[in-house]
Structure 1
Amino acid sequence: MNTALQPDTVLPAGMHPDEWAARLELAACYRVFAMLGWTEMIYNHITLRLPDSVSGVEKAFLINPFGLHYSEVTASNLVKINLKGEVLDGSPHPVNPAGFTVHAAIHDGIEGAHCVMHTHTTAGVAVACLKDGLQQTNFYSAQLHDMVAYHDFEGITIHADEGPRVLQSIGNKPAVILRNHGLLAWGATLPQTFAILWTLNRACEIQLATFSMGGAQAAIPVPEAIAEKCTRDALQFNPNHGAGRDVFDALVRQVNRIDTSYRD
């Protein structure tokens, strides 16, 4: 557990400590996104599956309340839902159906997808609109060799029948470019998912800047063998090397110096 999340927090009466820990971590992540500028008004979502110690055999998830900016999300106002998007904790806040359709498919259909993140950053959407998508031309895209999947645009993601096609597009690749739409990542833990998404978004930012200076034809391609080596050597996704925990903890400490109200 992130030590930055522990001080000055009080376990709500009747709540399992594992649920409160998950709520604190996810609320902190929403504030990290806000700090980074990864927000889209009141839209987009980060979802986190609650551990079996909390939900038992039924899968349960935490999601942001629809209508609140990421900077307003707190541990207590996160909404607990099931795979159908039904509210389980009596929360008065609504849930955006477009926010959980794809997330539910991934959480349910991919073993180990305990966290799912989706963004509409300018760089991410821009690269998602390119016919050739993300190209192997920079330090960050080279760390995602054979990790990136693509899913064709089908409109606003409110239709459950798109779920199986999303899963088929993704396969086992944790970094996803939703064509004409944005970026998505999934992982076994929240910090690992964040590390994957950050690397994917950074790769898109560098590609956007590179192409602005002469287009794709001016970029230097990274050879396959070098990209494979980079991905093997990139330890930030590896559970044996923290899987993004140290990076995420550092960002939470920054959030704590700005505003700790996410702990409410």
Structure 2
Amino acid sequence: MIPPLPQLNLQGKVSDEEWQLRLDLAACYRLVAHFGWDDLIYTHLSARLPGTDHYLVNAFGLTFDEVTASNLVKVDLQGTILDDTPFQINPAGFTIHSAIHEVRADAHCVIHLHTPATIAVASLEGGLRPLSQYSMFSLPSLSYHQYEGLAVNAEEKARLQADLGQNNHLLLVNHGGLTVGPTVGDAFMRMYDLQRACEIQVLLQSCGEKTIEVPQAIQDGIYQQAKLVHSGSTGGQKAWPAMLRKAWRLDPGFAR
């Protein structure tokens, strides 16, 4: 007999600002599951509570379609749980997130996923190539981090921080993809673009035909064009409200 998940309800027990952040992050978990980017109970999305060094992250052992606003776990940079909650977190999984939150005050949301497409492209010698419009949105702010095994070595954090630098997209070689953003919506849209770019590259390279790369002159200009089209740097400001509506349609249970 499988015991039911504990049902928590933090609505009205936390600030309105924290509750809204919990809603956004829980919705993002559900959207990641909907698009098939999840990995059983592994990988993480984290979000910083404004004005603090406290972060929300998923409870270890839950699938992404079980994440709710109330069962997200509040932790500090050391991964110490600050909530009165029956849930735990994956300390190794939070190593990557804490490393980035330590040094990137602008990275209020960090998304790290193990999708086949991002792992595949991250592990190619040439990495992500300018083969689609989607890749144009990632390449100007993309870096790489070499594989060092499971993220349990605290010494790796400094190398991860240095490799990401001020970029917003990171391909972890043999491992997966990562994006950061000032909001949950921005980080999500950056991951959407990176994932699509990697999917298209894998499809193209599987054809065995010569590929056509976007000329450098167009690469140099398209990132600025995207800012005008999206009224922002990532499209999160425009697309995220629609994605929230989608999450509500898929299953309003995330808002518990």
Q: Which of 223, 227, 232 is 1:231 aligned to?
A: 223
Give the 5 Å matches for 1:201-240.
201-214=195-208, 218-235=210-227, 240=232
Which amino acid counterpart does residue 36 of structure 2 have in structure 1? G
Q: Structure 2 vs 1, CA of residues 251 and 12 (structure 1 numbering), >3 Å: closer, same or farther?
A: closer
- CA distance in 1 between counterparts of 2:20 and 2:123 reads 37
Counterpart check, 1:249 vs 2:241:
yes
Give the TM-score normalised by the residue count of structure 2: 0.92
Aligned to 1:146, what secondary structure does the other structure show? helix
Q: Which of 188, 191, 194 is 1:194 aligned to?
A: 188
Aligned to 2:111, what secondary structure does the other structure show? strand
- CA shift digits 1:39-95 (9 cap, x unpaired): 10000000000012xx4xxx0000000000000000000000000000001221110
Other-structure match for 2:32: 33
Aligned to 1:165, what secondary structure does the other structure show? helix
- Flag structure 1 segments of 5+ consecutive residues without an equivalent: 1-9
- CA distance in 2 between counterparts of 1:151 and 1:26 reads 25
Q: Structure 2 vs 1, CA of residues 237 and 169 (structure 1 numbering), >3 Å: closer, same or farther?
A: farther
Q: After TM superposition, give the deviation of residue 136 of structure 1 in Å.
A: 1.3
Q: After TM superposition, give the deviation of residue 171 of structure 1 in Å.
A: 1.1
Q: After TM superposition, give the deviation of residue 179 of structure 1 in Å.
A: 0.4
Q: After TM superposition, give the deviation of residue 197 of structure 1 in Å.
A: 1.0
Counterpart check, 1:124 vs 2:140:
no
Q: Which of 93, 99, 102 is 2:87 aligned to?
A: 93
Larger mean CA deviation between 158-167 and 70-79 belongs to 158-167
- CA distance in 2 between counterparts of 1:137 and 1:221 reads 5
Give the 5 Å matches for 1:5-20.
12-20=11-19
CA contact (8 A) 1:140 1:203 kept: yes
Other-structure match for 1:107: 101
Q: Structure 2 vs 1, CA of residues 145 and 225 (structure 1 numbering), >3 Å: closer, same or farther?
A: farther
Q: After TM superposition, give the deviation of residue 235 of structure 1 in Å.
A: 2.4
CA contact (8 A) 1:63 1:79 kept: yes
Give the 5 Å matches for 1:20-169.
20-52=19-51, 55=52, 59-169=53-163
- CA distance in 2 between counterparts of 1:181 and 1:242 reads 24
Q: After TM superposition, give the deviation of residue 239 of structure 1 in Å.
A: 6.6
- CA distance in 2 between counterparts of 1:62 and 1:239 reads 28
Task: Give the % identical residues.
Answer: 41
Q: Structure 2 vs 1, CA of residues 47 and 24 (structure 1 numbering), >3 Å: closer, same or farther?
A: same
CA contact (8 A) 1:236 1:242 kept: no
Q: Which of 173, 182, 198 is 2:176 aligned to?
A: 182
Give the TM-score normalised by the residue count of structure 1: 0.89
